[in-house]
Structures are given as structure tokens and as C-alpha cells.
């Protein structure tokens, strides 16, 4: 649910503003923005459209297709556009700049930060998460909220750390989406498809020995399928590299009983790293 700009036209003191916010929260408003931002200035400036003359009925000839508007005819093949941008990036810095410039996803407009990656790009292990949440959006780094803290503890348990300088002990972390979806909703299939070429190039440039796919969005992006509860614990191959699907740390926070399986998966990863 999104907030209505009911404050327009009011001069608000702090107390009234707080009361309004409380009221909106009680009403279930948990997002100040819609998926697609509305430009109210443009709306106000727009003159009411003159009534269109009713055209004389034309004989129907052949199949009717909806006329394409300018924006529809411009509607690009987002994965193809992402792939073209990604293929030109020769370094991680160039890739980050290319992804940041990609204007194909509406979530970009509502996000505070562009969240590309964290950790040591030389690491043997690359982790792919889902998307930035509220904390990540605020800090501009992946996995810094509660799920991220759990992830750090999980990694520590097998001797890995995102801030390790030594590539043997380090991890490199990214997400399928580089912008926070509103209300922390799950990434849409079209968003995953659009960002997949960037992720593929990201993996290629970072060249880790193995991938950890945290949750369904990462599995969808890397393996083309979901069902992490079935897939976890079994090695798969993504972009030519071994990939271990695991349940997402957010799921583990909600379902502590699943930590036992996650621990088994971590041990499997540690064994592969030391093999
Ligand atoms: N969950 C994710 O998948 N990624 C983050 O960066 C934070 C939470």
C-alpha cells in the first residue's frame, strides 16, 4: 500500500507530521513510493486533452492489432540491451558503471542506492543473493542487514570472510538485482531476465572457483529454475562453474530449523574448497 500525498496544501508542524505518519502506518502504508514513480509536476503541467473526434467507422480488414504507442515501439528487448552493455565491460569497474547506467528497470528510480558488490573480487567464492533490502539500500552495500549479519556468521563458521585480503579465505558478494524492489518484494521474472546478462558477465570477470546461490532468485538467474528447498545441497553448474544452491539467510532467520541443512551445505562447500 502506498501513501497518498494528503499533506499537500498543509503547513505541517513536527507533531502533526508524526501523527500523520503514525496514522498512515496504522492504515498499512509501508511504502512511500509506487513501483513506477509518478511525476506530479508533469501531471499538473499537462493540459487536459481535447476530446478526440469520433472517427467514422472503418471497414474491418484483417486481424486487428492494437496500435503501438511510441513507448511500446521503443520497448526494447531488455536482456539484449543488458547483454550488449555487459559485453563491452572489460573490468568490474566498467561493468559496475554499465549496470548503473542501465535504465531498463523501474525499481532503479525508487531506490536510494545502486548496490553492486562487496568483498574481495579475487575471492575463490562468489555469493549471489537476491536484491538489496532496506539496510542495503541505505548503506549501498549488499548483505549488511540482519540477513547479512547471519551470512557473515555462517561464512565465519567455515573460515571465510568478506573482508579477508587472502583470496583463499575471502568471499565476493553480489545480488541478482542491484536496486531495492519497493517494499522488499521478490524480484519479478522480467527483472531477473533483464539483469541476467550483467550477472553472467560479473561472474565471468570475477572468475570465482565456485558460486553460492542464495535463494530462489539467484537460482532462477543462474540456473533458470527455482525450488531451492529441493535443489539445495546438490552441486549444479552455472556459467561453467560449480554452483551450490542454498536457502537464503532471510529464510533461515524465519525458519531456524533449516539451519541444520544450511550447515551441511556450508560443510560441503568447505570440503570442495579444500579438495
Ligand atoms: N538479501 C539479499 O538477497 N541481498 C542483500 O543484499 C540483502 C538481503
Write the DSSP string, 59-71.
PP-S---PPPPHH
Q: Is 93 part of a structural domain of the chain?
A: yes
Give 19 Cα–ligand 1 centroid separation in angstroms.
32
Beta carbons within 10 angstroms of residue 261's beta carbon: 15
What is the atom index within ligand 1 of the atom nearest the CA of 130? 3
Rounded Cα distance between 196 and 224, Å, is: 10
Q: Considering only residues 12 and 164, tell me which one the structure prediction assigns the higher pLDDT.
A: 164
Residue 107 reports pLDDT greater than 60: yes
In this prediction the pTM is 0.76
- Report the pLDDT value the prediction gives residue 59, as an integer from 0 to 100: 33
Candidate of 114, 135, 143 to mutate for ligand 1, largest count of ligand atoms within 8 Å of Cβ: 143
Rounded Cα distance between 178 and 181, Å, is: 9
CATH code of the domain containing 190:
3.40.470.10
- Report the pLDDT value the prediction gives residue 76, as an integer from 0 to 100: 81
Number of helices (H), then strands (E), in the chain: 13, 6
Give 31 Cα–ligand 1 centroid separation in angstroms.
18
Residue percentage of the chain with pLDDT more than 70: 73
- Report the pLDDT value the prediction gives residue 14, as an integer from 0 to 100: 56
Give 42 Cα–ligand 1 centroid separation in angstroms.
34
Counting the structural domains of the chain, the total is 1
Residue 61 reports pLDDT greater than 90: no
Q: Are 174 and 129 in contact (CB under 8 A)?
A: yes
Give 135 Cα–ligand 1 centroid separation in angstroms.
9
Candidate of 126, 135, 136, 172 to mutate for ligand 1, largest count of ligand atoms within 8 Å of Cβ: 136
**Residue 263, SS3?**
helix
Give mean pLDDT, residues 28-41. Answer: 50
- Report the pLDDT value the prediction gives residue 251, as an integer from 0 to 100: 98
> Residue 8 — pLDDT band, cuts 50, 70, 90?
very low
Rounded Cα distance between 145 and 141, Å, is: 10
Give mean pLDDT, residues 231-258. Answer: 98
- Report the pLDDT value the prediction gives residue 172, as an integer from 0 to 100: 98
Q: Are 215 and 147 in contact (CB under 8 A)?
A: no
Burial 64-94 (b: 16+ CB within 10 A, else e): eeeeeeeeeeeeeebbeebbebbeebeebee
Give 47 Cα–ligand 1 centroid separation in angstroms.
43
DSSP-assigned beta bridge partners for residue 142: none
Pocket of ligand 1 (CB under 6 A): 129-133, 136, 142-143, 145, 147-148, 175, 250
Give mean pLDDT, residues 51-78. Answer: 42
Residue percentage of the chain with pLDDT more than 90: 72
Give 268 Cα–ligand 1 centroid separation in angstroms.
22
Q: Which residues contact 214 (CB under 8 A, 6 or more apart)?
A: 127, 128, 129, 130, 151, 246, 247, 248, 249
E-strand ranges in the chain read: 117-119, 125-129, 171-175, 210-214, 236-238, 241-246
Rounded Cα distance between 237 and 229, Å, is: 17
At 133-173, the pLDDT tens digits run 999 999 999 999 999 999 999 999 999 999 999 999 999 99
Q: Is 69 part of a structural domain of the chain?
A: no
Q: Is 26 part of a structural domain of the chain?
A: no
Beta carbons within 10 angstroms of residue 183's beta carbon: 13
Domain residue limits at 264:
78-274
- Report the pLDDT value the prediction gives residue 64, as an integer from 0 to 100: 35
Q: Considering only residues 72 and 187, tell me which one the structure prediction assigns the higher pLDDT.
A: 187
Mean pLDDT of the chain: 83
Q: Is 38 part of a structural domain of the chain?
A: no
Residue 228 reports pLDDT greater than 50: yes
What is each CA distance from 163 to 27, 152, 168, 171, in whole angstroms?
A: 42, 10, 12, 8
Q: Is 234 part of a structural domain of the chain?
A: yes
> Among 96, 87, 103, which residue's Cα sits nearest to residue 117?
96
Q: Is 156 part of a structural domain of the chain?
A: yes
162: left (phi over 0), alpha (psi -120 to 50) or beta: alpha
Q: Is 55 part of a structural domain of the chain?
A: no
Give 133 Cα–ligand 1 centroid separation in angstroms.
6
Give mean pLDDT, residues 47-70. Answer: 36
Comparing 3-12, 36-45, 263-272, which segment has the lowest mean pLDDT? 3-12
> Residue 126 — pLDDT band, cuts 50, 70, 90?
very high
Comparing 51-55, 96-100, 128-132, which segment has the lowest mean pLDDT? 51-55
- Report the pLDDT value the prediction gives residue 167, as an integer from 0 to 100: 96
Candidate of 112, 128, 130, 252 to mutate for ligand 1, largest count of ligand atoms within 8 Å of Cβ: 130
What is the atom index within ligand 1 of the atom nearest the CA of 129? 3
DSSP-assigned beta bridge partners for residue 119: 172
Amino acid at each position: 500500500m502506498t501513501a497518498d500525498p494528503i499533506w499537500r496544501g498543509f503547513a505541517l508542524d513536527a507533531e502533526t507530521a508524526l501523527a500523520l505518519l503514525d496514522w498512515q502506518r496504522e492504515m498499512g502504508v509501508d511504502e512511500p513510493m509506487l513501483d513506477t514513480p509518478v511525476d506530479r509536476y508533469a501531471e499538473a503541467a499537462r493540459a487536459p486533452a481535447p476530446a478526440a473526434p469520433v472517427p467514422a467507422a472503418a471497414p474491418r480488414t484483417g486481424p486487428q492489432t492494437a496500435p503501438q504507442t511510441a513507448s511500446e515501439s521503443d520497448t526494447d528487448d531488455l536482456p539484449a540491451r543488458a547483454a550488449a552493455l555487459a559485453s563491452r565491460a572489460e573490468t568490474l569497474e566498467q561493468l559496475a558503471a554499465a549496470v548503473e547506467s542501465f535504465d531498463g528497470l523501474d525499481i532503479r528510480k525508487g531506490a536510494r542506492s545502486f548496490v553492486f558488490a562487496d568483498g574481495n573480487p579475487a575471492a575463490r567464492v562468489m555469493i549471489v543473493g537476491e536484491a538489496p533490502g532496506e539496510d542495503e539500500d541505505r548503506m549501498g552495500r549488499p548483505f549488511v542487514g540482519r540477513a547479512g549479519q547471519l551470512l557473515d556468521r555462517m561464512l565465519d563458521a567455515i573460515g571465510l570472510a568478506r573482508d579477508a585480503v587472502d583470496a583463499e579465505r575471502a568471499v565476493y558478494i553480489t545480488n541478482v538485482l542491484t536496486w531495492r524492489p519497493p517494499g522488499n518484494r521478490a524480484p519479478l521474472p522480467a527483472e531477473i531476465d533483464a539483469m541476467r546478462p550483467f550477472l553472467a558477465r560479473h561472474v565471468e570477470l570475477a572468475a570465482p572457483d565456485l558460486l553460492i546461490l542464495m535463494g530462489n532468485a539467484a537460482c532462477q538467474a543462474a540456473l533458470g529454475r527455482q525450488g531451492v528447498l529441493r535443489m539445495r545441497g546438490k552441486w549444479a553448474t552455472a556459467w561453467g562453474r560449480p554452483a551450490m544452491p542454498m536457502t537464503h539467510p532471510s529464510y533461515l532467520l524465519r525458519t531456524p530449523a533449516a539451519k541444520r541443512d544450511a550447515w551441511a551445505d556450508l560443510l560441503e562447500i568447505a570440503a570442495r574448497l579444500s579438495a
